[in-house]
Amino acid sequence: MRILVTGGAGFIGSHFVRTTVDADVTVLDSLTYAADLANLEGADHEFVHGDIGDAALLDKLVPGHDLVVNFAAESHVDRSIAGSAEFVRTNVLGTQTLLQACLDAGVPKVVHVSTDEVYGTIDAGSWQEDAPLRPRSPYAAAKAGGDMIAMAYAITHGLPVSITRCGNNFGPHQYPEKVIPLFITNLLQGTKVPLYGDGGNVRDWIHVDDHCRGIRVVAEHGLPGEVYHIAGVAELTNLDLTQRLLDALDADWSMVERVADRKGHDRRYSLDDSRLRGLGYAPRTSFEDGLAETVRWYTDNPSWWKSKRTL
């Protein structure tokens, strides 16, 4: 079995590579600010430095792989608000270029990794896979564009691509601009943590290992042209999340600084994951255990995150 993992030097892709032991893995990554080759240390793989938007490179690289898993993306909402060109270039055009290369090479299975953010925001209840896409940030809009291209390639060309949509991930090796590693590393340095708006925004948290296990289930059993949700295990307001992080790092609310809300901040995401559970998937890591392990990892690995921090 030969697997091509795009974006495999980032947070989730590298976890997928580190936990794939029964296949020959090729990693394709353009090494943006979010990548770190140290994330792949100890993982058996062949590394190719390149862009999913480089059709000539893909024409040589993709043939011969049995599975392509597309993690490559610009992934941070705040950066997409500051400037969205790179998001459209990679998340839409890059995805299309990769899917075309998979089609040309006759790759038998493709998994395109996406997010709950494509649906927008939901006050109550949970989205099912056929909910309309109503993205509200440039990041989410670019991911929705990639998803729609993937769906169109499945319908029009019969490309055997499945799409996964997951909630907010946490775990080791996550770039310290995302809320959990940002708050942990701030508190480890004795710096206040910035809490957006009223803190009432709700996110559904999943450990990165469960996300990767869900992707594997879809790679093995998912149908072409089908979307699969990978839901979290803990729905928390940002206030609840902050309290848990303060507790874990022995800090109190004097370490919290209220800051202006993110523009267009989605209030709540929630996924119904019955379809994936029907394929035998169930999450294994509780939020409490996963968070404790994550706090330990950042505490033990300051050399990994210190160079990535701007403060």
Q: How far apart are CA 208 and CA 198, in angstroms?
A: 27
Write out the binding residues for ligand NAD, residues 131-190 only, by CB under 6 A. Answer: 143, 166, 168-169, 175
The SS3 assignment for 235 reads strand
Binder among 3, 4, 35, 107 for ligand NAD (CB under 6 A)? 35
9 binds ligand NAD (CB under 6 A): yes
**Catalytic residue selected from 29, 36, 117, 266:** 117
Residue linked to tokens 């270029």: 97
Binder among 23, 32, 191, 237 for ligand NAD (CB under 6 A)? 32
51 binds ligand NAD (CB under 6 A): yes
The SS3 assignment for 140 reads helix
Binder among 3, 4, 5, 13 for ligand NAD (CB under 6 A)? 13
| Least CB distance to ligand NAD at residue 270 (A) | 14
**Catalytic residue selected from 36, 74, 139, 281:** 139
252 is catalytic: no
| Least CB distance to ligand NAD at residue 210 (A) | 12
289 is catalytic: no
Here the tokens at position 22 are 């029964």
Buried b / exposed e over 85-100, threshold 16 CB at 10 Å, is: ebbbebbbbbbbbbbb
Which CB atom, from 7 or from 222, has the smaller least distance to ligand NAD? 7
CB neighbours of 61 closer than 8 A, spacing ≥ 6? 4, 26, 28, 48, 50, 101
Binder among 4, 12, 131, 180 for ligand NAD (CB under 6 A)? 12
57 binds ligand NAD (CB under 6 A): no
| Least CB distance to ligand NAD at residue 117 (A) | 8
Residue 275: exposure state from Cβ atoms within 10 A (0-12, 13-18, ≥19): middle
In eight-state DSSP terms, residue 117 is G
74 is catalytic: no
The closest of 72, 73, 75 to 61, measured between CA atoms, is 72
Contact mark string toward ligand NAD, 84..123, x via CB under 6 A = ------x---x------------------x-x--------
Here the tokens at position 245 are 């992080």
| Least CB distance to ligand NAD at residue 250 (A) | 26
Using the contact rule CB under 6 A, the part of the chain among 61-69, 70-78, 127-135, 279-287 near ligand NAD is 70-78
The SS3 assignment for 103 reads helix
β-strands 110-115, 161-166 pairing: parallel
- Which stretches of 167-268 are assigned E, i.e. beta strand? 168-170, 193-196, 202-207, 227-230, 234-237, 256-259
Which CB atom, from 230 or from 256, has the smaller least distance to ligand NAD? 230
In eight-state DSSP terms, residue 10 is S
| Least CB distance to ligand NAD at residue 39 (A) | 8
- Which spans of this chain sit near ligand NAD (rule: CB under 6 A)? 6-7, 9-13, 28-32, 34-35, 51-53, 71-75, 90, 94, 113, 115, 143, 166, 168-169, 175
Which of the residues are catalytic? 116-117, 139
